[in-house]
A = this chain, B = another copy of it.
């Protein structure tokens, strides 16, 4: 099998030298410009073939202003992208639409870093940007005032608070918290605790509000005290359960902010001799493939992150086309700032209800 081979990066200059013309002339030929005589064009094309010159995608990009590249700003350990499946959804969708992804990791979210990141992406002439870092504290505050129209390319933010003039694609995490809590209430549980993600996350805050809203609706606002902060990770599940039982000795259900933490909760309940769900109902968020195979199988909420990534990419391509005044592909007819919802998946970790107390 033979593959490219042979060409030790032949440059425009090499072609120009052999053809006895300027680099600009070679560039004109490559880009199909009209301002070249037929003789010259033929001579240049002959030299291009002789040398095996590969007209650079970058050279073309310089003249067309299109890179067919989408910049993705993610935040390693913390972001949605690193769940792998979301990343995968984005890579596949980009591939289908003929784009490559240029991935940059964002380590801090200070104003200077945001500026540097945008500068980097502008310099690389990406056609559009997916802002996939999580909304932590005021990390996305710059989006409130920033005039996105002044950027040379469109930007779509993933799982960020809706803001005027900003394209976002997000889950409704308030609704997720409410849905989870209503499910536990429907089983007759009254002392429902919550092990949340990190408190400074917008996603976490939304879920806490949804959990409290459902408790208030059920006339149990005081149960809103039963809150422990976790870190999404399996290791924070067990300590979270122990702390919740200190705060609320009658604890009979836990809404856990991630399936990973819920695995830690199940292990700790097992260690403490608590029966799940008889003594304590446990549910997570994410519905990881493994969750159906835990002991007991875990009630959870599907969060279709690959779909979120796909939708974000389609919306971005729509915006790219719109800026260029071109029609966009049918698949890109995504509405403004679409909101995605979690789906409840009920399994044995909550299914067997205690006799309702009311």
**B267, A152: Cβ atoms under 8 Å?**
no
Chain B residues whose C-beta falls within 8 Å of the C-beta of A69 in the assembled complex: 102
| Chain B CB within 8 A of A332 CB | no
Residues 56-98 of chain A: 1 if any B CB is under 8 Å from the residue's CB, otherwise 0? 1111011001010100001011000011110110011011000
In Å, the complex CA distance between A152 and B151 comes to 34
Q: Return chain B residues, CB-CB under 8 Å to A56.
A: 62, 123, 125
A220, CB-defined interface residue at 8 Å: no
Considering the chains assembled together, what is the distance between the CA atoms of A12 and B24 in angstroms?
Answer: 13
Contact with B along A262-296 (1 / 0, CB 8 A): 01101100100000000000000000011011110
Q: Among B24, B100, B118, B150, which residue has its beta carbon within 8 angstroms of that of A23?
A: B24
Q: Which of A205-213, A232-240, A313-321, A337-345 contacts B (4 or more CB under 8 A)?
A: A232-240
CB of A35 within 8 A of chain B?
Answer: no
Is A295 in contact with B293, judged by CB distance below 8 angstroms? Answer: no
Which residues of B have CB within 8 Å of A57? Answer: 120, 123-125
**Which residues from B are CB-within-8-Å of A82?**
84-85, 87-88
Q: How large is the interface on A (under 10, 10 to 19, 20 to 34, 35 or more residues)?
A: 35 or more
Produce 1/0 per residue, A130-156, CB < 8 A to B: 000000000001100111001110000
Say yes or no: A289 contacts B233, CB within 8 Å. yes
Shortest beta-carbon distance, A180 to chain B, in Å? 20
Asked if B6 contacts A150 (CB within 8 A), the reply is: yes
Instruction: Determine whether A331 belongs to the interface, using a CB cutoff of 8 Å to chain B.
Output: no
**Contact in complex: A270, B295 (CB < 8 Å):** yes
CB-CB under 8 A from A119, the residues of chain B are 4, 54
Q: Are A4 and B102 in contact (CB under 8 A)?
A: no
Among A77, A118, A294, residue most surrounded by chain B Cβ atoms (within 10 Å)? A294
Interface pair A91/B62, CB less than 8 Å apart: no
Q: A119–B84 Cα gap in the complex (Å)?
A: 27
Interface string of A226-259 (1 = CB under 8 A from B): 0000000111011000000000000000000000
Q: Cα distance A294–B238 when bound, in Å? A: 12
Distance, CA A102 to CA B99, complexed state (A): 10
In the assembly, what is the distance between CA of A256 and CA of B100, in Å? Answer: 36
CB pair B295–A118 under 8 Å, yes or no, is no
How far is B123's CA from A62's CA once the two chains are assembled, in angstroms? 13
Number of copies: 2
Bound state CA distance, A4 and B111, in angstroms?
A: 11
Measured between beta carbons, the chain B residues less than 8 angstroms from A142 are 1, 3
Complex CA distance for A203 and B61, rounded to whole angstroms: 40
Q: Given known contacts A58-B123, A58-B124, A267-B293, what 5 new A-B pairs fall within 8 Å (CB)?
A: A5-B150, A76-B88, A76-B91, A95-B104, A267-B297
21 contacts between A and B (CB under 8 A): A1-B142, A1-B146, A5-B147, A5-B150, A5-B151, A7-B150, A54-B119, A54-B123, A56-B62, A58-B124, A76-B91, A77-B88, A91-B103, A92-B105, A94-B105, A100-B103, A100-B104, A234-B290, A266-B293, A267-B293, A294-B295
In the A-B complex, list the 3 residue pairs whose CB atoms are closest, starting with the nearest.
A84-B84, A57-B123, A9-B152
